[in-house]
């Protein structure tokens, strides 16, 4: 019965640790992010879309797009796929794999990101990587992406991201997943970079602690706010995409919020505010609040852009 608590998300406001996590993520993302101008585009049959003003606006460099990762860009949770890859490489025992598998199954069936549930998963991951070198985990992460993540990217969401890139805008992942994992995914998708949970490292070795807290809920909004200030972005002209009501703080920051594969609470919230909505989980069109004009763009192939973003805290 304890698991039922995961189905009752609690409202959380930004705390000092949320702000720290957001600012650390923004700093990490800006340090070494880079876009790839050579990202390829796979052709797909365009879907019909209602007439509406062109969006994104080509050439609007003060606009950018922020995409949640889990269940928005990719099916399932990146941290769980990463855990499977580490188990394959004997980083931990079978009982811990069972725990990862249960957490992944719950996430997929319930479609709910409970902060305590996700925190538990990340505590497990931090204990596993403690003492390992950042460079080692980055190298392994590249392999894990190919093994477990590449085939789980939603083509429709990739198309939306590509529309922003084609308009000359930067596109960032914003996720509670480790920033190293997030930036690997961003690079493979040809995106600008990633805002993610920053794990502390000293001399290139993980300490088993976080900088601030996981980039979840209010912390995501703080990260976007910090990055927008540093990049001179106008948030009213920016777009954000997410599947989870936990990301309402981030979605509410921008002038163009989109609910992608939304959970029940986000769907209801989006309808009430006339936010655009798109659901790629079935072959049918989602109940329409407004279909993004970019939805007809084909899915893009994996790019070769570099978007590495690693925050280093020295003692």
Which residues have a catalytic role annotated? Answer: 68, 70
Closest CA to 156 of 284, 273, 266, 63: 284
| Residues paired with 307 in a beta bridge | 33
Angle of CA points 120, 146, 201, to nearest 5°? 45
What whole-number distance in Å separates Cα of residue 6 and Cα of residue 9? 7
What whole-number distance in Å separates Cα of residue 241 and Cα of residue 220? 12
- Residue 42 contacts residue 300 (beta carbons within 8 Å): yes
Query: At residue 194, what are phi and psi to the nearest 5 degrees?
Result: -145, 145
């Amino acid at each position: 019965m304890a698991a039922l608590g995961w189905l009752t998300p609690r409202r959380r406001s930004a705390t000092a640790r949320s702000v720290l996590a957001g600012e650390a993520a923004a700093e990490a993302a800006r340090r070494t992010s880079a876009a790839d101008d050579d990202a390829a585009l796979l052709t797909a049959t365009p879907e019909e879309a209602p007439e509406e003003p062109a969006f994104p606006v080509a050439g609007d460099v003060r606009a950018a797009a922020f995409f949640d990762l889990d269940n928005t860009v990719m099916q399932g949770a990146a941290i769980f796929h990463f855990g499977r890859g580490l188990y394959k490489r004997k980083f931990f025992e079978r009982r811990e794999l069972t725990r990862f598998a249960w957490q992944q199954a719950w996430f997929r069936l319930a479609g709910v990101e409970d902060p305590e549930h996700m925190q538990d998963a990340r505590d497990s991951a931090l204990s596993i990587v403690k003492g390992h070198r950042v460079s080692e985990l980055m190298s392994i992460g590249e392999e894990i992406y190919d093994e477990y993540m590449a085939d789980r990217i939603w083509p429709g969401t990739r198309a939306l991201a590509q529309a922003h890139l084609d308009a000359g805008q930067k596109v960032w992942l914003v996720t509670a997943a480790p920033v190293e994992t997030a930036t690997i995914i961003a690079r493979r998708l040809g995106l600008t970079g990633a805002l993610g949970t920053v794990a502390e490292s000293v001399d290139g070795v993980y300490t088993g602690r976080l900088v601030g807290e996981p980039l979840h809920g209010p912390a995501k909004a703080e990260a976007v706010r910090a990055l927008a200030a540093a990049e001179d972005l106008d948030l009213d002209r920016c777009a954000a995409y997410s599947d989870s009501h936990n990301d309402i703080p981030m979605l509410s920051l921008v002038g163009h919020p989109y609910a992608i594969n939304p959970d029940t609470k986000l769907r209801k919230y989006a309808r009430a505010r006339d936010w655009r909505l798109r659901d790629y989980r079935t072959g049918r069109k989602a109940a329409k609040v407004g279909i993004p004009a970019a939805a007809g763009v084909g899915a893009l192939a994996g790019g070769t852009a570099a978007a590495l973003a690693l925050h280093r805290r020295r003692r």
